[in-house]
Amino acid sequence: MPLGLIRQGLRGRRRPRRAMPAAVPLRPRYDVVIIGAGGHGLAAAYYLAKDHGITDVAVLDKGWLGGGNTARNTAIIRSNYLTPEGVRFYDESVRLWRGLSGELDYNILHSERGHLTLAHNDASLRTMRWRAEVNKHLGVESEVVDRDELARICPPLDLDPGARFPILGALYHKPGAIARHDAVAWGYAIAAARRGVDIHQKTEVTGILTEKGRVTGVETTQGRIACAKVLQAVAGSSSLVAAMAGFRLPIRTVPLQACVTEPLKPFLDPIVVSGSLHVYVSQSARGELVMGGATDPYTLYAQRSTLEFKEGLAAPMLTLFPFLAEVRVLRQWAGLADMTPDFSPIMGPTPVRDYYIDAGWGTWGFKATPVSGKRMAETVASGRPPALIEPFALERFASFRQLGERGAASVGQ
C-alpha cells in the first residue's frame, strides 16, 4: 500500500476539502453576478477569484450545479478545428485540461485517447487534409492516416473495403481526450467556493436591470441583486436571457441527444467519429459506450429522448462495429444546444455595458470549459477581451467576420 495512503489513514479527522459548497444566504449586492452554474459559469468564477482576486461573486442557477449541458454531454475534448482562430483557442483548452485535476485538487478523470474522424469518400478526405495542414501549421498534432494505420490505431473498426460505407482513411488527432463531465463542474465549484465565491442553486434570473445602457443588477426568484458586472453563461437559454437584457442573439436552440450502453470490457481506446454517418462513440472509464449523433432538426426547449434518435444511431454504429449488435442501451438523454450560424461560440461584450456573454456553445462547448472560463474571467476583470477570444465577438455577425467551423464542429445537423 502506498505510504501516502497509510499516512492519510492514520492522520485521523480530516477536513473534507472535496465537499460540495454549502448553501449560503443570497446577499443584496455582489461585484459580479454570473448567470448559469454550468462548467463555463463556474470556471469563470474560479478564474476570477484565482487569477484576478475578484471574489465578491455570485453564481446563480435556476436548477442545480452542472445540471444543464455540462452533465449531459459526451465529454469529447480536441482542438483539430478548421479556422486558425478556432484551433488556437481550443488548443489552449487542451493544454489547460492536462493539468486540471492537479489545479483543482479534484480528479476529473481526464484521459487522452486519440480522436479519429473517419472519411468514407474523397470529399471528406480532402477536408481532412485541409484540417490537418491548418492544425500542423499551428503546432497541433493532426494527420491523415490510411486504412493500414487505422487498423493499428483502432483494431475493432470494420475496415472491410466491401462494407456498406467503406472507410478510406481518417483524420487522427492524438491529443483527443475525454473527462468526467460532472466532476468538472464539481471541481470548479468547490475550488471557486474555497476562494470565496457564492453559488446559489434554484435561483432563476427573471430580469436584467439596466440604467442608461449599463447593467445594474438582476431580478431573481429569490429577490433582487445589485451588481457592477454580469456574465451570462446559460448555453441553451442564451437567447431567452439576452432578450431580458434587451438584445438579440443569432442563436437557435435545438435538442441534442446522446446515450450509453451497458458496460463492456475495455476494447475501444480512441474516440471514433463519422461525420458522414452522423455518429460518434468513445468508451468511458467504466466501460460504457458513450454515443451521440446529429442535433434534432427542429428548434425546441424540451429535453426529451426519442426512439427515432436511437434507431438512427444504431444502424450506422453497427456498420462501424458489427459485433455490437447484442449490446443494450442503458440510458438516453438530451440537452439544449445553442447553435450559431458559423458553428463558433460568442464571447465578449454586448450592447449593454458591463454585461458580458459566453454563448453559442452548441455541440462543442464542453472542451472549451477551462479556456472560456479563464478568458471570460479576464474579459470581465479588465473590461476588454484578450486577443485569443476577440475574433469570437458578437459584433462579428454585423461586420461579416464569421468563423466557419461547420466542417469541423460536430457530426452534422
Ligand X SMILES: Cc1cc2nc3c(=O)[nH]c(=O)nc-3n(C[C@H](O)[C@H](O)[C@H](O)COP(=O)(O)OP(=O)(O)OC[C@H]3O[C@@H](n4cnc5c(N)ncnc54)[C@H](O)[C@@H]3O)c2cc1C
Strands (E), 158-251: 169-173, 177-178, 198-200, 205-211, 214-220, 223-232
Between 71 and 168, CB nearer to ligand X? 71
Site of grid cell 487505422:
150
Residues 225-244 contacting ligand X, CB under 6 A: 233-237, 241
Q: What is the DSSP letter of 274?
A: E
Which member of 48, 54, 59, 60 binds ligand X (CB under 6 A)?
60
Min separation Cβ 319 and ligand X, Å: 21
**Least spacing, CB of residue 171 vs ligand X, in Å:** 16
Determine contact, residues 389/360, Cβ cutoff 8 Å: no
x-or-dash string of contact with ligand X, 2-41, rule CB under 6 A? ---------------------------------xxxxxxx
* Total residues interacting with ligand X, rule: CB under 6 A: 40
* Residue 234 beta carbon to ligand X: minimum distance, rounded to whole angstroms: 4
340: contact with ligand X by CB under 6 A: no
Which residue number, 182 or 390, has a Cβ lying nearer to ligand X?
182
Within 13 Å of residue 18, how many CA atoms lie on the same side as its CB? 12
CB of 266 vs ligand X, minimal distance in Å? 19
As measured in angstroms, the least distance from the Cβ of 75 to ligand X is 5
Neighbours of 299 (CB within 10 A): 10
Question: What is the closest distance, in whole angstroms, from the C-beta atom of residue 63 to ligand X in the complex?
Answer: 4
Which residues have C-beta within 8 Å of that of residue 102, sequence separation ≥ 6?
Answer: none
175 touching ligand X, by CB under 6 A = no
CB of 7 to ligand X, least distance (A): 37
State how far the Cα of 360 lies from the Cα of 40, in Å rounded to an integer: 12
The distance of closest approach from Cβ of residue 254 to ligand X in the complex, given in angstroms and rounded to an integer, is 10
Q: Is 396 in the site for ligand X (CB under 6 A)?
A: no
- Alpha-helix residue ranges (DSSP H) falling in 100-144: 100-104, 122-137
Which helix H or strand E contains 359, and what residues bound it?
Answer: strand 355-359
Asked whether position 72 contacts ligand X by CB under 6 A, the answer is yes
**In whole angstroms, how close is the CB of 160 to ligand X at the nearest point?**
28
Sequence-ordered alpha helix ranges (H) in 195-350: 238-245, 307-320
Q: Residue 57, interface with ligand X (CB under 6 A)?
A: no
CA-wise closest residue to 301 among 341, 344, 241: 241
Q: Which is nearer to ligand X, 68 or 349 (CB)?
A: 68
- 281 is an interface residue for ligand X by CB under 6 A: no
Beta-strand (E) ranges in 44-162? Answer: 57-60, 76-77, 111-112, 115-119, 143-146
- Cell representation of residue 267: 476494447
Phi, psi of 354 (to 5 degrees): 65, 15
Is 275 among the residues that bind ligand X (CB under 6 A)?
Answer: no
The residue from 31, 67, 107, 395 that contacts ligand X (CB under 6 A) is 67
Query: Does residue 204 touch ligand X according to CB under 6 A?
Result: yes
Single residue of 33, 49, 58, 76 touching ligand X by CB under 6 A: 76
How many beta carbons lie within 10 A of that of residue 200, not counting itself?
20
Residue 287, judged by CB atoms within 10 A of its CB (0-12, 13-18, 19+), counts as middle
Is 284 near ligand X (CB under 6 A)? Answer: no
Binding part of the chain for ligand X, among 97-105, 161-169, 186-194, 360-368 by CB under 6 A, reads 360-368
250, 302 in Cβ contact below 8 A? no
Site for ligand X, rule CB under 6 A? 35-41, 60-63, 67-70, 72-76, 204-205, 233-237, 241, 256-258, 292, 335, 337, 361, 363-367
